[in-house]
Amino acid sequence: MTPAADAVPVLRVLAAAPGPEWAAEHREEVLAEVEASGAVLLRGLGVASAAGLAAVTAALGIEPMAEREGFAPRDRLGEGVHSASHWPADTPMCMHHEQSYAAEVPGLLVFGCLTAPRRGGRTMLADSQQVLRALPPELVEPFRRDGWRLLRAYQDVGVPWTDAFGTDDRAAVDAYCAAEGIAHAWSGDGALRTVQRRAAVVAHPRTGVPGWFNQIAFLNELTMDPAVREYLLHQYGPTGLPFTTAHGDGAPVGAGTVAAVNAVYDAAAFGETWRDGDVLVVDNIRMAHSREPYEGPREVAVVLGDPVRLPGHVLPGGAAG
């Protein structure tokens, strides 16, 4: 299969017994297409539940991983299966790589469309290697050299730290942060602030081809609704926002950088209209993804899979206190 550069390759499942049996039989073909194209849509599998998606994921030999440090709430639908991030239906979700700020990142994502929306709601993709080539060199160079920082404040807005780290034990969070290269500080009222510095340009672990692998634009405070941002700044100050990003040396990321990155993402984006039962397998390191606004019920489940630690991805961070 040789799809157009701006189209998702589609494998049509023509089988009397679709589902995990077909996935197991065609595993090599599916994974070869993901390696070649960055993603593949499996149409006709008839996946209608979280358990069905888990079975297909297992049949493809993809190992689920637990989510840590999530920035938007999800529902746990089953072992290793989550809902899509809770996000307003009328608001687009910007391009991002799942957990690009973590030390251990998902190598693959498996999306299952349990209920397709009436209109819109496509999961859009953008090739990080193409994005890197299209970005202005003068924008890329400081990030290539210094990486980027994610700054988070876990307090009474956003995702609670107990949900993000999957524990209510502060000592366990301390140990996790120490192991994962995250500077952190607790306040007297139990709020938590973290800073982590990561590479912004990474080489793909299989091909060595570099890509723009980060969430510099998506998690920057300038992507918030202006009224919400002003309220949060008034209430909590510039160090109390639920999340924002900075250059690796600590310098602020400006509005021009956010706009330029998102413009390149928009130009590179492509996607396929969801149908009930579709399964989309995505190389998370090569492909960024986003979500269009939509109308009508939309239920898409996801498995984060095949965890990988990228060489040189974790960089020495700053202080969180």
pLDDT at 300: 97
Q: Is 232 in contact with 139 (CB distance < 8 Å)?
A: no
Q: How many domains does the chain have?
A: 2
Q: Cα separation of 108 and 184, whole Å? A: 29
pLDDT digits 0-9 by tens, 171-209: 999 999 999 999 999 998 888 999 999 999 999 999 999
- The single-letter DSSP state of residue 92 is P
Res 75 pLDDT > 50: yes
Domain housing 295: 10-89+105-119+273-308
Distance from C-alpha of 245 to C-alpha of 196, rounded to nearest angstrom: 10
Residue 320 falls within a domain, yes or no? no
What pLDDT is recorded for position 4? 43
What is the reported pLDDT for 145?
Answer: 98
Does residue 299 lie in a domain region?
yes
Token pair belonging to 107 = 């190598």
* C-alpha to C-alpha distance for 83 and 173, rounded to whole angstroms: 24
The answer to the question of residue 52 being in a domain is yes
Q: What is the pLDDT of residue 5?
A: 52
d(CA 140, CA 179): 28
Which residue, 98, 284, 75, is CA-closest to 163? 75
pLDDT digits (tens, 9 = 90+) for 11-66: 999 876 678 999 999 999 999 999 999 999 999 999 999 999 999 999 999 999 99
Say whether both 200 and 253 belong to one domain. Answer: yes
Q: pTM to 2 decimals?
A: 0.94
Give yes or no for a contact between 226 and 193, defined as CB atoms under 8 angstroms apart.
no
Same-domain status, 279 and 229:
no
The SS3 of residue 305 is strand
Q: For position 109, what pLDDT does the model report?
A: 98
> Has residue 158 been placed in a domain?
yes
* Residues 212 and 279 reside in one and the same domain: no
Could you tell me where the DSSP H helices lie in 74-220? 128-134, 137-146, 161-165, 170-180
**Which CATH number covers residue 20?**
3.60.130.10
281 plus 301 within the same structural domain? yes
Closest CA to 250 of 258, 262, 260, 239: 239
Q: Is the pLDDT of residue 83 over 60?
A: yes
Q: Are residues 241 and 290 in the same domain?
A: no
Quick one: 82 and 140 in the same domain?
no
Helix (H, G, I), strand (E, B) or coil at 279: strand
The answer to whether 92 and 292 are in contact (CB under 8 A) is yes
Q: In this model, does residue 8 exceed pLDDT 90?
A: yes
Structure tokens at 269: 């984006």
Is residue 317 a part of any domain in this protein? no
Residue 100: inside a domain, yes or no? no
Q: Is 210 helix (H, G, I), strand (E, B) or coil?
A: strand
**How many helices and strands, by DSSP H and E, does the chain display?**
9, 19
Question: Among residues 112, 19, 79, which one has the least CA distance to residue 299?
Answer: 112
> Between 167 and 234, whose confidence is greater?
167
212 found inside a domain: yes
Question: Could you report how far apart the first and last alpha carbons of the chain are, in Å?
Answer: 52
Mean pLDDT, residues 296-317: 95
